[in-house]
């Protein structure tokens, strides 16, 4: 069960990086911060790539990698924008929908099938998302469903969840045709190169990093690079749907960060929704 430990470490690093990113976005453009998160993770990924044996790369590896890259870039932009426009605890938890979409994509791409326990988990995740928005209104039973559509960060994060379910399946395919550390390092380094022109164009064709920026961006890059490494290691040890489900425990840490770091309100009500969503994730994991 070593994969569970790696997946939990992935969740912790993911939530920490998100919280640090949210703080940095208070004064900088979201494209800049999304780019900086990749750039400051680049050195650690480069070192890991240098000390990793290069496997034999076939057509399947390159097809999966080159298909996932543009989708991942779109997800990064939407993800970072969601963190900026809406509360952390009302955006990140919607990543719990990834296992729901992943059931379809992992079956199509990897041949994975959903179990009864997985179905129960999906229902609990949907209920949890309902309760997550329940504090938005007391007027009617259906109003929280409308709140999901009204909250811009929530809408963006749902789209991100769909994209991540697809790229996760493609990533697992690429890992199976290479190695976890090699693919993770190469994949995100390529993503940095491809995303750089976008970040520059969104910042009047120039990007400047001050000493003050270094203080906030170095921890973001460090935690993000660790998240990538732990993610790939866990992914190589189990089915993609199980790994991503455990990774979504990051939503619990994100809600806590939102309360203590950003003074976001209604922690108890939002935490209830998160716990139920986590119960759904647990069912999916136990169905293994």
Structure tokens at 87: 């509360």
HEC secondary structure over 17-61: HHHHHHHHCCCCCHHHHHHHHHHCCHHHHHHHHHCCCCCCCCHHH
Do the beta carbons of residue 173 and residue 109 sit within 8 Å?
A: yes
Note the pLDDT tens digit of each residue in 185-228.
999 999 999 999 988 887 776 677 777 778 888 999 999 999 99
Q: Count the Cβ atoms, other than its own, within 10 Å of residue 201.
A: 10
Residue with structure tokens 């059931």? 103
The burial class, CB within 10 Å (0-12 / 13-18 / 19+), for 146 is middle
pTM for the full predicted model: 0.84
DSSP 178: S
Query: Confidence band (pLDDT; 50, 70, 90) for 147?
Result: low
Share of the chain above pLDDT 90, in %: 38
Residue 137: predicted pLDDT? 45
Residue 24 reports pLDDT greater than 60: yes
Q: Count the Cβ atoms, other than its own, within 10 Å of residue 165.
A: 24
Share of the chain above pLDDT 70, in %: 90
Residue 123: predicted pLDDT? 85
Q: Of 34 and 61, which is predicted with more confidence?
A: 61
Query: Average pLDDT, stretch 136-160?
Result: 69
Q: CA–CA separation, 144 vs 130, rounded Å? A: 6
Residue with structure tokens 């425990």? 249
Q: CA–CA separation, 257 vs 18, rounded Å? A: 9
Do the beta carbons of residue 282 and residue 102 sit within 8 Å?
A: no
Q: CA–CA separation, 176 vs 183, rounded Å? A: 10
Which among 172, 169, 174, 164 is positioned nearest to 63, based on CA atoms? 174
């Amino acid at each position: 069960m070593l994969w569970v430990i790696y997946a939990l470490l992935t969740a912790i690093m993911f939530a920490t990086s998100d919280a640090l990113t949210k703080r940095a976005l208070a004064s900088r453009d979201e494209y800049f911060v999304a780019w900086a998160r990749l750039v400051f993770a680049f050195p650690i990924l480069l070192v890991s790539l240098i000390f990793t044996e290069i496997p034999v790369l076939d057509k399947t590896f390159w097809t999966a990698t080159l298909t996932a890259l543009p989708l991942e870039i779109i997800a990064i932009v939407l993800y970072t924008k969601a963190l900026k426009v809406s509360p952390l605890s009302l955006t990140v938890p919607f990543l719990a929908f990834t296992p729901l979409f992943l059931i379809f994509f992992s079956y199509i791409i990897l041949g994975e099938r959903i179990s009864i326990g997985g179905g129960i988990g999906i229902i609990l995740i949907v209920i949890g998302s309902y309760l997550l928005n329940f504090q938005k209104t007391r007027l009617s039973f259906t109003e929280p469903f409308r709140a999901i559509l009204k909250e811009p960060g929530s809408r963006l994060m749902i789209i991100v969840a769909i994209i991540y379910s697809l790229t996760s399946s493609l990533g697992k395919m690429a890992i199976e045709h290479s190695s976890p550390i090699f693919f993770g390092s190469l994949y995100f380094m390529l993503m940095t190169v491809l995303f750089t022109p976008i970040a520059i164009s969104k910042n009047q064709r120039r990007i400047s990093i001050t000493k003050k920026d270094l203080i906030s961006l170095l921890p973001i890059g460090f935690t993000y690079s660790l998240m990538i490494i732990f993610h790939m290691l866990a992914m190589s040890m189990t089915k993609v749907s199980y790994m991503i489900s455990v990774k979504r425990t990051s939503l619990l840490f994100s809600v806590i960060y939102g309360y203590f770091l950003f003074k976001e309100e209604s922690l108890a009500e939002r935490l209830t929704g998160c716990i139920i969503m986590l119960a759904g994730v647990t069912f999916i994991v136990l169905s293994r």
